[in-house]
Structures are given as C-alpha cells and as structure tokens.
Amino acid sequence: MNKYEKWHEQIVQRAKDRVLNDYYERHHILPRSLGGLDIHENIVCLTAREHFICHWLLTKFTVGEERDKVLYALRMMRANKSGQRSSNQ
C-alpha cells in the first residue's frame, strides 16, 4: 500500500465514524467503475473537498485501464464549475 492509498483509507475511515449535518457527497470506497457496489458498506459521506481529494488520490494508486477510469471520474468532478454537486451522487 503506497502513501496515497493510505491517505485515501484514512479519509474513508474518519468518515465512517462521523455524521455530516451540512452539505456532503456520497463517495464509493471502491468506485463503481472498478466493480464497487451501491451498498451501504461501500459508501461514505464526505465533504466536497474530501471527495475531490479522494478521487485525486485514486489516480495515484491505480494503474492501466483502472487508472483511466478514475481519471475520467476526476475530470468530471473538475468539469462541474456550477457550484456544489447534488448530495445524491
């Protein structure tokens, strides 16, 4: 496990132990594009900043076709410049 994967894991673990009352975004721990399921155990609620950082971190520890998929997801997050995204994502 490299440092980026450790950082991603730390953010995810911290999110499992808290409740966000303000704006949040749902993050798939294992992305759907990599086979992750839409189940409670695979989803955590993150701040918008944490969510973006997690997707950036994913690009640092994936390779090949998997990396292409997580890069695409990161680009889509960056493309949304209209403000906050829906918490239903």
Tens of pLDDT, residue by residue over 48-79, are: 999 999 999 999 999 999 999 999 999 998 88
Angstrom distances, CA of residue 17 to CA of 26, 27, 42, 64: 15, 15, 14, 33
Write down the pTM of the prediction: 0.85
Would you tell me how many other CB atoms lie within 10 Å of the CB of residue 15?
Answer: 21
Q: Which of 22, 28, 19 is nearest to 54 (CA)?
A: 28
Residue 81 makes CB contacts below 8 A (sequence gap 6+) with none
What's the pLDDT tens digit per position in 75-89? 998 887 555 554 444
Would you tell me how many other CB atoms lie within 10 Å of the CB of residue 26?
Answer: 14
Residues in the chain: 89
- Sorted by where each begins, the domain ranges of the chain are 3-79
